[in-house]
Structure 1
Amino acid sequence: MERHTYQTGIIGNCSFIAHVHENTNIAWMCWPQFDSSFIFGSLLDQEKGGEFSVLPSDNYFTKQYYIENTNILCTEVTTSKGKYRITDFAPRFSQYERFFKPLMLIRKIEPLEGDPHIKITCNPVYDYGKVQLEKVRGSNHIEYIGCEEKVRLSTNVSLSYLFEEKYFVLKTEKYLVLTFGNPLEAPIETTCESFLSKTKHYWRTWIKHSSIGEFYQEYVIRSALALKLHQFEDTGAIIAASTTSLPESPGSGRNWDYRYCWLRDTFYVMNALNHIGHFEETEKYFDYMTNVSYDSGLRYQPLYSITREKNLIENIADHLTGYLGNTPVRIGNQAYEHIQNDIYGQALISLLPLYCDHRFVFSERKDSATLVEFALKKIEHTIDEKDAGIWEFRNSAFMHCYSNLFQWAGCSAAAKIARTINNEELEERAIALMKRAAQHIENCYDPEREVYTHAVGSPYLDASTLQLIMMNYLDPNSDRAKKHLMALEKELKTPNGLFYRYLHTDDFGQPKATFLICAFWYVEALACVGRLDDAIVQFEKLMKYCNHLKLFSEDIDETTGSQWGNFPQAYSHVGLMNAAHRISTKLNRPLYL
């Protein structure tokens, strides 16, 4: 069977993300926010998803690549008549002491060889493809009418060619500027070139200011750039992915909307950002978490929208055919109703760097005790109850090892913060809760197999318990840690180094695809227990599962190596960054030597 990979790259500016297909089409783009309706959505429906392509009149092949150390994407198209390049980007740069990041997509088209004969098609849609926008001709632009704001295409291309979708010979550079809301009211050519230059400078400076070790540096750089795009800067939220309903495996029905912020990802995302030294993003994410804390009551939800909306009601868009015919297409995510008790510990761990890393001035934070108190109360309220767990089982509840582990780790973080702010009462409460969480964890231990199972009273193994080692609940040098790891790899690891989350039947049957983040956790666990050579070998095996742009999906089919699940998956890129950092730290060698 042929290997399936996603044939798109992403561009964005922390206001929106667009997927550019190798065939030049904008295959997915939601406006005005990550979780808004798509403007272009052929990823989920070729007919109803609209189109924004720049195609030749004859047969062609393409080559796609990022301008080095940026989120600017180039697609070179070669035909018998000539060759041309499309440079796609979303403007982002510093201006007036803040970042300029408009709802603006710019496409620069330039001839490279011969006389390419091209046609530009721009037909945006709205309300998830239910509304075809009406075209209205302007002086040097086309207005698209039918959604909540003005959508305008400003260009130096003949409007007649655009309106009638006619082919023309590309002789000089052309620019397409698509805007939502405020249109471009400036010279087209000089403005686009200026925005391109400034955006390139912004991304390259951002990377220069990143602390990235030498181990697989190019992959870590691309992962860092991809993760950055997944932060909605206005609120600080970081989404799991910019897509919805790309199936975990074909025909599985496991098609989810991932355009939201999961609290379960907090610890891993914070780690990744801290490892590369980007504190601005960390602080913005912290502010988002703080606001979630203050309006959450006794419980956090597992996920929120990027604007902290709580009701993420799941609807089926049955008018869409789905990715490669895979239905249902889901808008919203029912998991917001679930009980997921690891997230309180995640919240506390996320606060820890702000009080233990002296690059942050914790004395300026007047809400320290209140925030810790909030989270500890939530742990006290939930520590003895069953939940849906990290994998969000829809029809079953357990006393999950992973949930109690993060309650234990969260209370450990709370105790450290309490010591920093000299609050003995909070410290004592945190330590007492740590002991209660540890007892639940020990109730998951199977002494005969010498392994921790996924839940109290359950025989099943789960990759999430790898975190017992990384979180230092188990001493990585201990026999118990090493034997736990061996038991997990014996049951859940594939010959190619991939890792299943679990193999028992869940609400949708037995999982068919491996979960990429689990394979990166496995790499980290190997490094932790001293099996560094094994960790490097396994990490290197995982690098082949990216697409042509070093972007990784959520799931991998272990038989074919195919990419599945939402794409690109922030979780997978975070896993790569953290695993590479773990190995770099263990290698402990000078850069470039």
Structure 2
Amino acid sequence: MLLLLMEKHTYQTGLIGNCAFLAHVHKNTNIAWLCWPRFDSTFVFGSLLDTEKGGEFSILPEGEYTSHQYYLENTNVICTEITCESGTYRITDFAPRFYQYERYFKPLMLIRKIEAIEGLPRIRVKCEPVCDYGRRKQKARPGSNHIDYAGCDETMRLTTNIPVSYVIDEQYFQISEPKYLLLSYGDPLEAPLVSTAERFLRATTEYWRLWIKHSAIAGYFQKYVIRSALVLKIHQFEDTGAIIAASTTSLPEYDKSERNWDYRYCWLRDTYYVLTSLNHIGHFEEMERYFGYVADISFSDGEDFRYQPLYGITGKKDLVEVIMDHLDGYLGNKPVRVGNQAYEHIQNDIYGQVLISLLPLYTDHRFVFTERKDSVRWIESLLGKIERTIDEKDAGIWEFRNMANVHCYSNLFQWAGCNAAAKMALTIGNQELVDRANSLRDRAAAHIESCYDPERKVYTNAANSPHLDASTLQLIMMNYLDPASQKAKDHLAALEKELKTPNGLFYRYLHADDFGKPKTTFLICAFWYVEALACVGRMDDAMREFENLMKYCNHLLLFSEDVDEATGSQWGNFPQAYSHVGLMNAAYRIAIKLDRPVFL
């Protein structure tokens, strides 16, 4: 057991952000990852992928130290407490965000407050930003109370009440009063440092706590759901409404796997899960922003009938994948990829995903559907996309690069999308669209049934395929299979027999793909499994499995994309927004089944 604990790998960073940028704060005080000016820009601090070329922004003591890191309760503000021989000090890191002048204030500004807790600790501040993915270091130019970093697209400024010479020379000094480091991109701070930083900290803390108070959090594992909601919120690029999968690129699915992908983009195939989680916690502003992003994509291509699986945060289509050979990669894991070749793939579940995501606009009376003058165009367009692709082979949800099949999951979401389209068309009184949607729904169902294996009593991943796939758990959650039916229970039993691990994790699939057989489990599949258990009425199993999954977080309750079954190690991009979405949806499903109250 001791050996397994020694080998367990967890990510040692926490995430802060303000819906304009995201940053990782390492337990060693370093800003290990920060892309400016946008989620998908080059990093200015990127030691997560290369400790030499990634730059550094650390606040460390002389000699050895221990670290304790935590979030201020119900916020996206991180505190890191460092204890060393000369004393203890706290660093409070945050990205300012609050409501001001009838809009949200979310500057490209990282603020770090340093204060002694015990003794008179001696510390050193090291700030070395880089650009062009670590190919160049920025040049420091000292001013009276600031340092300008130049040589890249925009000048960055570090404003501080620490002697500038100490920062430039990386000299140790004693903390006798609170010190502040305010790093800004583009526009420098034109205000008093100390009072501004303190005001921004108070306002940001109040903003996040009020946001949580205005969330509908079910009474089941609330602490974890609250943290997941806060994580999901800052993965939304508020300027356009896009929600990205993760803030990072090229964190491997397991050590030396070469399965290193750039996840700083918006996957339309996950739209339904994301919007469902936002709906569960009652945050309609974020939902409507995301609706707007999807609508802009839908009508930006004229008559182009095919959606891409993913888009850039501004709707950009060409996400050409480039290998960054000059970077060592996370713990030496190459390649480092920028861009994602999956944008070229064919995934035919997307159109159904969009349709069922739009359904609340027409069935939830908190939205006024009569305000939407383009309803017929919307429904016709999406049904047309389904009609053109319903009989196609595609890459499937897992984006196989060189394998195409008639995937059960793709047709399931076409089936569900047609159901949603029929309800929407009924709401607006268009019987012709109702009939068209129902006809397509029946065609999708026929494809789904071609995946059924009557001998094993299970739906396989694709027509004429023997392989099982965790994505078919959605047959139960989407009510294609009546959860009370024996067929649903048999299907679930067959999946858990083959794909569930002894420790309660779940593989996506176990057959070989373009890179061989996968070696780590996919966390969101385990949360889908929990939901499926709840759906079929196995509540004791659902609660036990959910509780078991909570141990796979890091010290800040943050979850990764992948988990190693043998060691419980975290792998994949981190924190993974969709893992947190899975947690939120599973907790909600259990709470509703248990008739637990939803706190508003």
What one-letter code is carried by the residue in structure 1 that aligns with 2:483?
A: P
| Mapped contact 2:251–2:261 kept (Cα < 8 A) | yes
Match of 2:533 in 1: 526
Which residues of 2 match residues 554-565 of structure 1 at below 5 A? 554-565=561-572
Match of 2:517 in 1: 510
Match of 1:51 in 2: 56
Distance 1:529 1:394 in 2: 34
Which secondary structure state, in structure 1, belongs to the residue aligned with residue 168 of structure 2?
A: helix
Q: Does 1:379 align with 2:395?
A: no
Match of 1:136 in 2: 141
Q: Does 1:486 align with 2:457?
A: no
Distance 1:488 1:38 in 2: 41
Spell out, residue by residue over 1:222-272, the C-alpha distance to the aligned partner (whole angstroms, 9 max, x if none): 000000010000000000000000000111110000000001110000000
What one-letter code is carried by the residue in structure 2 that aligns with 1:324?
A: L
1:97 paired residue among 102, 123, 127: 102
What one-letter code is carried by the residue in structure 2 that aligns with 1:18?
A: A
Spell out, residue by residue over 1:108-148, the C-alpha distance to the aligned partner (whole angstroms, 9 max, x if none): 00011101000000000000000100111112110001111
Q: Does 1:338 align with 2:378?
A: no
The Cα shift of 1:214 comes to 1.2
Which secondary structure state, in structure 1, belongs to the residue aligned with residue 264 of structure 2?
A: coil
Query: Where does structure 1 differ by over 6 angstroms across 4 or more consecutive aligned residues?
Result: none
Which residues of 2 match residues 356-435 of structure 1 at below 5 A? 356-435=363-442
Which secondary structure state, in structure 2, belongs to the residue aligned with residue 94 of structure 1?
A: strand
Spell out, residue by residue over 1:313-368, the C-alpha distance to the aligned partner (whole angstroms, 9 max, x if none): 00000000000000000000000000000001001011101110000111111111
The Cα shift of 1:153 comes to 0.4
The Cα shift of 1:369 comes to 1.1
| Mapped contact 2:534–2:589 kept (Cα < 8 A) | yes
1:587 paired residue among 590, 594, 599: 594
Stretches of structure 1 that go unaligned for 5 or more consecutive residues are: none
What one-letter code is carried by the residue in structure 2 that aligns with 1:410?
A: G
| Mapped contact 2:219–2:596 kept (Cα < 8 A) | no
The Cα shift of 1:590 comes to 4.1
| Mapped contact 2:218–2:596 kept (Cα < 8 A) | no
Which residues of 2 match residues 175-324 of structure 1 at below 5 A? 175-296=180-301, 297-324=304-331
Which secondary structure state, in structure 2, belongs to the residue aligned with residue 522 of structure 1?
A: helix
Distance 1:169 1:138 in 2: 22
Distance 2:291 2:38 in 1: 20
Segment drifting more, 366-375 vs 480-489: 366-375
Which secondary structure state, in structure 2, belongs to the residue aligned with residue 19 of structure 1?
A: strand
The Cα shift of 1:382 comes to 0.2
What one-letter code is carried by the residue in structure 2 that aligns with 1:90?
A: A
Which secondary structure state, in structure 1, belongs to the residue aligned with residue 89 of structure 2?
A: strand
What one-letter code is carried by the residue in structure 2 that aligns with 1:276?
A: I
| Mapped contact 2:216–2:598 kept (Cα < 8 A) | no
Which secondary structure state, in structure 2, belongs to the residue aligned with residue 110 of structure 1?
A: strand
Q: Does 1:578 align with 2:565?
A: no
Distance 1:522 1:558 in 2: 16
Match of 2:155 in 1: 150
Distance 1:494 1:261 in 2: 30
The Cα shift of 1:591 comes to 6.5
Q: Does 1:107 align with 2:118?
A: no
Which secondary structure state, in structure 2, belongs to the residue aligned with residue 530 of structure 1?
A: coil
Distance 1:31 1:350 in 2: 31
The Cα shift of 1:49 comes to 0.1
Distance 1:306 1:552 in 2: 22
Spell out, residue by residue over 1:570-593, the C-alpha distance to the aligned partner (whole angstroms, 9 max, x if none): 01000000000000000003479x
Q: Does 1:448 align with 2:458?
A: no
Which secondary structure state, in structure 2, belongs to the residue aligned with residue 538 of structure 1?
A: helix
Distance 2:149 2:431 in 1: 62
Give me the identity figure in percent. Answer: 71
Spell out, residue by residue over 1:495-551, the C-alpha distance to the aligned partner (whole angstroms, 9 max, x if none): 111000000000000000000000000000000000011000000000000000000
Which secondary structure state, in structure 2, belongs to the residue aligned with residue 149 of structure 1?
A: coil
Stretches of structure 2 that go unaligned for 5 or more consecutive residues are: none
| Mapped contact 2:409–2:472 kept (Cα < 8 A) | yes
What one-letter code is carried by the residue in structure 2 that aligns with 1:492?
A: L
TM-score, normalised relative to structure 2? 0.98
TM-score, normalised relative to structure 1? 0.99
Segment drifting more, 296-305 vs 463-472: 296-305
The Cα shift of 1:193 comes to 0.3
Which secondary structure state, in structure 1, belongs to the residue aligned with residue 468 of structure 2?
A: coil
Which secondary structure state, in structure 1, belongs to the residue aligned with residue 118 of structure 2?
A: strand
Q: CA RMSD in A?
A: 0.7
1:467 paired residue among 474, 479, 484: 474
Q: How many residues align?
A: 592
Q: Does 1:325 align with 2:332?
A: yes
Distance 1:433 1:43 in 2: 47
Match of 1:61 in 2: 66
